[in-house]
A and B are shown apart, each in its own frame.
Chain A
Amino acid sequence: MRFTPALLGAMLIAPYSFADIQFNGFLSAVGGKALDSPINGYEKDITFNNDSLFGLQARADISEKLSVTGQIVSLGENDFATELAWGYIAYKANNNLTLRMGRFRIPLYYYSDFLDVAYAYPWVSPSDDVYNLQLDNINGMDAIYKWTAFNAINVELQAYYGAINGDYKVNNTDDVLSAQTRDNLGFVASLGYSGFTLRTSVHQAQLSINNIDDIAAITALKTGVNQLTGIDSLKEAANNVLANLTVTDVASDYYEVALHYDGDYFFAVAEVANFSFESGPFAEQKRSLFSLGAPIGATVIYGSYSKADDESVNLSGELAAKKAGLDTLVAGLNALSTAFTVEREIRSLGVRYDFEPGAAFKVQYDNIEIVNQKNSNNVLRFGIDVVF
């Protein structure tokens, strides 16, 4: 959902007499450069667009139980196009239960809900290995139930249902797929005790990508495999290959577990995520991250390690075994499978310094090793995150 600046302006100055409106905002201004070859949106010269963003939130309490929250976010990586990231009506049934309907963040990760608010975490951004899904806002409804168990454990449960229409950029290519998910259903459970938080979530959805043929390689491969369906001995194998080159209502499952500790002397985060598909060309994503840091006065020093260890799909199936001489086609299918597979390790070191109330300066150095391409890159980023 995109808004023109004029409409946005009208939203901000529109008079409201029925309720107090609270405005809050956040901004990240981040510069960075790739020290070797271009990677993750950074190049050899310093650029400031990739991790920079601006967000503004308005909240109105219509009554004691009913509130409306809207959040617009402009991301530098999308040329600062303004998008409605959140927009929902919330009904606080009682002190424990809140029901929401509208547009909100899909709670895939520990930091999902406030991923855009970099002031809320120590890093310039959490590792791309785990925090990589681009379909992050959902249109639907949810229920959040929280209570305190044994006067000490903060329990929060969330269940949601909805659907997503969005663009998905394929790893390191210019291809943008138009993805749809339907029947998104997910559950999140979070337990907090003292400085510890344990969070786990499970999600499922039916994924369709209607314009997958826009990827030229896929069209070419389909043409090649189609010619084999006329050969009796290859018919079954070829049809199986073709089935994996379309993505229509593919059942996908996602689960995640995170353990977080935040104490006076150090903080630690561990998170693992797994994303799998019943069929189609996409690899099973196996992702993990670990981060450790220590506050020293107004400064936090941290280090992180994360890993993407995806399991690729065997797209060529039985073809090579059934018939010799299909080397080019098989190689093409294998290359496509590899394009959807990430094998990567990221090691990061960084510093956060809170120099004013509500403002933090950060510097982060990332070493990004793309394992299946034997390619190592370094990125240096620096920036300021504020909330207001």
Chain B
Amino acid sequence: MQIIPMKKIVLTAAGLLALTTTTLVSADLAVIANASLKIPALNQEQAQQLFLNKSTDYSQQKIVVLSNESGTNALFYKQVVKMSASKFRSYWSTQVFTGKGSAPIYLNSDSEVLDFVAKNKGAIGFVDADTVGKEVSTLLIIPSG
């Protein structure tokens, strides 16, 4: 019978765990803004207020929502605005049809969101953190899992 050193077993287990984490769990979420918006790093509550049109700290935001069925999208509703996607839409209808805010723009991919946020003054959105480049500013990272 071969004896496997204890240390090696632990290392193998750790390696397996690391592998599962990277393959099964989706990436972190990055809240991004157009570079013209002078918004410092945010915490979750401040990001929530921004996406729900409740913030009085910064003016004229255009909200962009990633609408594909990605883990990033699920993370946004669960960890940032803390409401279901349909409740978010329902909430926004109360803002739009009372003239209190401009309707969020729903886009289908990280690249479309990045492109829109980079090009539109006052735009705020969120994408998979791995896709963010220098064209936008990152305000908050929500870790996955």
Using Cβ atoms and an 8 Å threshold, which residues of chain B touch A360? 86, 90
Contact between A105 and B98, CB atoms less than 8 A apart: yes
Contact between A117 and B56, CB atoms less than 8 A apart: no
**Complex: how many Å from CA A151 to CA B55?**
10
Using Cβ atoms and an 8 Å threshold, which residues of chain A touch B90? 119-121, 360
**Complex: how many Å from CA A146 to CA B56?**
7
Using Cβ atoms and an 8 Å threshold, which residues of chain B touch A298? 84, 86
Instruction: Name which residue of chain A comes closest to B82, CB basis.
Output: A264
Q: A114-B98, A148-B49, A298-B86 are in contact. Are A120 and B93 (CB under 8 A)?
A: yes
A113 at interface, CB cutoff 8 A = yes
- Partner-contacting stretch, out of B6-14, B57-65, B131-139: B57-65
Contact between B84 and A295, CB atoms less than 8 A apart: yes
* Shortest Cβ distance from residue B83 to the other chain A in the assembled complex, whole angstroms: 8
* Shortest Cβ distance from residue B1 to the other chain A in the assembled complex, whole angstroms: 53
A358 at interface, CB cutoff 8 A = yes
B96 at interface, CB cutoff 8 A = yes
Question: In the complex, which of the residues B85, B89, B97 contacts A55, with contact meaning CB atoms closer than 8 Å?
Answer: B97
**Complex: how many Å from CA A211 to CA B58?**
51
Q: A117-B93, A354-B86 are in contact. Are A148 and B99 (CB under 8 A)?
A: no
B119 at interface, CB cutoff 8 A = no
User: Which residues of chain B in 76-105 are interfacial with respect to chain A, using CB atoms and an 8 Å cutoff?
Assistant: 84-87, 89-91, 93-94, 96-99, 102-103
A40 at interface, CB cutoff 8 A = no
A347 at interface, CB cutoff 8 A = no
Contact between A22 and B56, CB atoms less than 8 A apart: no
Contact between B97 and A26, CB atoms less than 8 A apart: yes
**Complex: how many Å from CA A298 to CA B85?**
10
B residues near A (Cβ < 8 Å) are 45, 49, 54-60, 67, 84-87, 89-91, 93-94, 96-99, 102-103, 106
**Complex: how many Å from CA A94 to CA B59?**
8
Question: In the complex, which of the residues B49, B56, B94, B99 contacts A90, with contact meaning CB atoms closer than 8 Å?
Answer: B99
The range of chain A's interface size is 35 or more
A59-B102, A298-B84 known; 10 new pairs, CB 8 Å cut-off, are A22-B102, A24-B103, A96-B56, A114-B94, A114-B97, A120-B90, A121-B90, A152-B45, A154-B49, A357-B89
Using Cβ atoms and an 8 Å threshold, which residues of chain B touch A152? 45
Using Cβ atoms and an 8 Å threshold, which residues of chain A touch B87? 262, 295
Contact between A116 and B97, CB atoms less than 8 A apart: yes
Using Cβ atoms and an 8 Å threshold, which residues of chain A touch B94? 113-114, 117, 120
**Complex: how many Å from CA A358 to CA B90?**
8
A92 at interface, CB cutoff 8 A = yes
Question: In the complex, which of the residues B45, B60, B93, B102 contacts A114, with contact meaning CB atoms closer than 8 Å?
Answer: B93
* Shortest Cβ distance from residue A104 to the other chain B in the assembled complex, whole angstroms: 8
Using Cβ atoms and an 8 Å threshold, which residues of chain B touch A61? 102
Contact between A95 and B56, CB atoms less than 8 A apart: yes
Using Cβ atoms and an 8 Å threshold, which residues of chain A touch B60? 64
**Complex: how many Å from CA A86 to CA B94?**
14
Question: In the complex, which of the residues B54, B85, B86, B103 contacts A148, with contact meaning CB atoms closer than 8 Å?
Answer: B54
Using Cβ atoms and an 8 Å threshold, which residues of chain B touch A55? 97
Interface string of A210-221 (1 = CB under 8 A from B): 000000000000
Contact between A22 and B97, CB atoms less than 8 A apart: no
User: Which residues of chain A in 74-105 are interfacial with respect to chain B, using CB atoms and an 8 Å cutoff?
Assistant: 86, 88, 90, 92, 94-96, 100, 104-105
A387 at interface, CB cutoff 8 A = yes
Contact between B59 and A357, CB atoms less than 8 A apart: no
* Shortest Cβ distance from residue A67 to the other chain B in the assembled complex, whole angstroms: 8
